[in-house]
Structures are given as C-alpha cells and as structure tokens.
C-alpha cells in the first residue's frame, strides 16, 4: 500500500508534537536529532575502511534515488498540468500567457487555475471598459455621415433662442435636454 505524502504543514505539526513530547522546541528537537546523527556517524568511523566505503556509496545511491524520484514526480506533475491546461484552453499558446500568470504558478497555483483567474479578471475589466464606452457614447455628441457633429445646446442657449430658432432646432434641443443637469 502506497503511503500518502504529507504536506509541509502536517510535517511541521508532527515535528512540533515530537519536540513537545521531549520538552523541546522544534528547533531544539532538530538540533538534538542532528547531533545524535553525528554521534552515530562518529561511532561508524571505527568500522573497517571497506564497510565505510560501502555505507558512503549506499548513502550516495539513496540520495540520488530520492533526487531522481523527486525529479520524475515533478516532471509527471508538469506533464499532467500541461495536459489539463491544453484541454481547458486549447487556443492559448504558451507565449500568450502573461507574466502575472507565471508568477502565480511559481507561488504554487496550478497553471489552469492561474490562467482561469486571469481570464475572469480580464473579461471583467473588458466588460467594465465596454460599459464606460457605451455610457460615453450615449453622452457624446452624435456625428452625421459627413463627419460633422450634431448641434448640442445648453439650457441657457435654448432660453436665449427665438421661437423660430427653437422650432428649427427642436429635434436637437430634445436630444440636448437629456444631457442637462437640473
């Protein structure tokens, strides 16, 4: 049966419990373990040279095996994350992924989650900008086909107009009224 991998928080909690059981701080407990390990290594020095070489080789092999296992686990994780990302975002090319997403990935967030969050924020910002543009377009003075702007009048300008001018510009006055502040 495969042993479940502990998180850093779980390992720290176990270390603190062991230290507390021995009346030490976590740092003190680690220091004691290291000194015990050094004492054990010192006792091993009384062994014959061939045995010491075998032990050293065994340590090196074990260390290399751990390193290799960790590297292959990391490569497998990256492969799965890449496959997941490509299935969720098939149209996105790696060079289109912004730096802010990669920063999140280096902080431990998975690539699909970081990019999804980026996409939601970007879409929200775009929607907001579009709404502002629509609002501004409604407030802006309309343009005619020849490029000239439609006349807009202030309340004071309309009050100063003669009845004939009001009649002539009535359509434009009605549109201008919506922009007046009362």
And the tokens for 152? 């807009």
pLDDT for res 99 = 92
Q: How confident is the model at residue 112 (pLDDT cuts 50, 70, 90)?
A: very high
Q: How confident is the model at residue 139 (pLDDT cuts 50, 70, 90)?
A: low
- Closest by CA position to 73, among listed 12, 8, 9, 5: 5
pLDDT for res 2 = 57
Q: Is the dihedral of CA 29, 31, 36, 37 positive or negative?
A: positive
User: CB–CB of 110/117 below 8 Å?
Assistant: no
For the chain, give the mean pLDDT: 85
Give the chain's count of helices (H) and strands (E): 8, 0
Q: How confident is the model at residue 90 (pLDDT cuts 50, 70, 90)?
A: very high
The pTM (predicted TM-score) of the whole model is 0.45
- For residue 42, pLDDT over 70 is answered with yes
- For residue 143, pLDDT over 70 is answered with no
pLDDT for res 38 = 80
- Reduce the secondary structure of 34-100 to three states and give it as a string: HHHHHHHHHHHCCCCHHHHHHHHHHHHHHHHHHHHHHHHHHHHHHHHHHHHHHHHCCCCCHHHCCHH
- Region 76-86: mean pLDDT is 88
- Region 145-165: mean pLDDT is 80
């Amino acid at each position: 049966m495969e042993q479940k991998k502990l998180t850093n928080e779980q390992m720290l909690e176990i270390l603190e419990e062991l230290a507390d059981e021995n009346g030490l701080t976590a740092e003190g407990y680690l220091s004691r373990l290291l000194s015990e390990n050094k004492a054990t290594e010192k006792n091993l020095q009384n062994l014959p040279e061939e045995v010491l070489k075998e032990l050293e080789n065994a340590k090196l092999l074990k260390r290399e095996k751990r390193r290799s296992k960790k590297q292959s686990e990391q490569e497998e994780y990256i492969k799965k994350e890449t496959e997941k990302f490509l299935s969720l975002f098939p149209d996105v090319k790696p060079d289109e992924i912004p730096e802010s997403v990669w920063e999140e990935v280096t902080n431990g967030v998975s690539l699909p989650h970081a990019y999804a969050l980026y996409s939601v924020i970007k879409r929200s910002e775009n929607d907001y900008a579009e709404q502002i543009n629509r609002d501004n377009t409604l407030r802006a003075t309309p343009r005619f086909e020849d490029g000239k702007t439609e006349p807009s009048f202030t309340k004071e300008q309309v009050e100063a107009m003669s009845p004939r001018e009001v009649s002539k510009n009535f359509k434009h006055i009605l549109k201008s009224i919506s922009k007046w502040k009362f």
